[in-house]
Amino acid sequence: MKIGVWLDKEKAHIVCLHDGVADFKTVLSNVENFKIHGGAGTKFKGGPQDVVQDSKYLEREKHQIKAYFKDLATEIKDAEAIVLFGPAETGFKFHKELSNNYKELESKVTEVIKADSMTNNQVIAWVKTYFN
């Protein structure tokens, strides 16, 4: 079975090809979008200021992404060949996670490609074209 995974931080679209038939599945990441709000503080120089705990949010996001990647690895464990594609850096981060913790899956990754956002049908067509 050949698998194409379009992924970003919010979701992954997984296309499984076997005998020319495409199965399509979406896995949501559950990574929160952190909106860090600074407090009111004062307009006076040297007045009290709110401290925003960036590291706490980043740490929680890191754990959520790790859980998301674990779910993805479980979904694609039966693959013979895998192509990862999508916008931003998420595909490359997932590939790195595979090489660190899922060696048997990482060896099946043929390529990691930057690609724009796509509709579900475009994702399916892209994967079919890639493997043909």
DSSP 27-93: EE--------------SSTT---PPP-HHHHHHHHHHHHHHHHHHHHHHTTT-SEEEEEESSSHHHH
Report the predicted TM-score, pTM, of the whole model to 2 decimal places: 0.83
pLDDT digits (tens, 9 = 90+) for 49-66: 566 678 888 899 999 999
The structural domains of the chain, ordered by start, are 2-31+54-131 (3.30.420.60)
pLDDT digits (tens, 9 = 90+) for 98-114: 999 999 999 999 999 99
The pLDDT, as a whole number, for residue 46 is 63
The pLDDT, as a whole number, for residue 1 is 94
Per-residue pLDDT band for 88 (boundaries 50, 70, 90) equals: confident
